[in-house]
Copies of this chain bind each other. A is one copy, B any other.
Amino acid sequence: MSKCGQCIIKSFNAFHTLTIDELDTISDHKTSLTIKKGENLMTEGHAINGLYCIKQGKCKLTKLNTNGKEQIIKFVKGGDILGHRSILSEEPVGLTVTALEEMKVCFIPKGDIMQTINQNTAFSLQLMKNISNQLNHANDSISQMAQKPVKDRLAETLLKLEEIFGLDKDGNIDIILTREEIANTIGTATESAIRLLSNFKKEKIISLQGKHIKLLDRSTLRNISEGY
């Protein structure tokens, strides 16, 4: 199995603060796994005893509502860490993580993480920063969801998706989502999402080819997302 010390991914997250020794220990204890498209890496309400470092692949973080609807809270890609919130707060996982394409991840047992937190302040601080940033973004989302109409939220989401996933070779947003998933991100009915996407297309703000979405007029999208 490959060594954490050599893994480029660590440079994107809190693991870059670890010493060579700490990385070695984690290397010895980690397990690498492959998650196929559609499979869950973790499930809301279940306990986990470690965290996941995503080497490759994209996933969605969702929450099941009391009415049975799925709400997509966040999209995550390679370089990110998942599960630290749960092991830090000592609570079950709050979100279901589902692979949107094949993923390569490393599982690192809770014991090693807690030991590292105890002996490496820089690592702790990085984790805190990470969660703090997430909290900040979450608060933004609350405000958006509560106060912006669906159209504005769709514009916002399209911009954010491009920011997270970048572009494929044809200039489309480099993520394949169903219309239902888009609807579940902005919190609306699938039909409403479809209609608004069609409108954006008609107004030449975006182009649609099947599930491929290309942003054509970002400044208009930005205006819409801010209510103009």
Interface residues of A (CB under 8 A from B): 63, 65-67, 69, 71, 73, 85-86, 88-91, 94-95, 117-118, 121, 124-125, 127-129, 131-136, 138-148, 186-187, 226-227
Contacts and interface: CB of A to CB of B under 8 A. Distances in A.
B129 A128 contact: no
Contacts of A63: 139-140, 142-143
Copies of this protein chain in the complex: 2
Contact of A135 (B90, B138, B146): B138
Given A118-B121, A138-B135, A145-B146, A128 B67 contact: no
Given A89-B133, A136-B94, A141-B142, A65 B148 contact: yes
Given A66-B226, A67-B227, A139 B136 contact: no
Contacts of A148: 65, 67
Which applies to chain A's interface (DSSP): helix, strand, loop or mixed? helix
Contacts of A132: 85-86, 88-89, 91, 131
Nearest to A90: B129
Nearest to A86: B132
* Most chain B CB neighbours (cut-off 10 Å) among A63, A90, A124, A135: A135
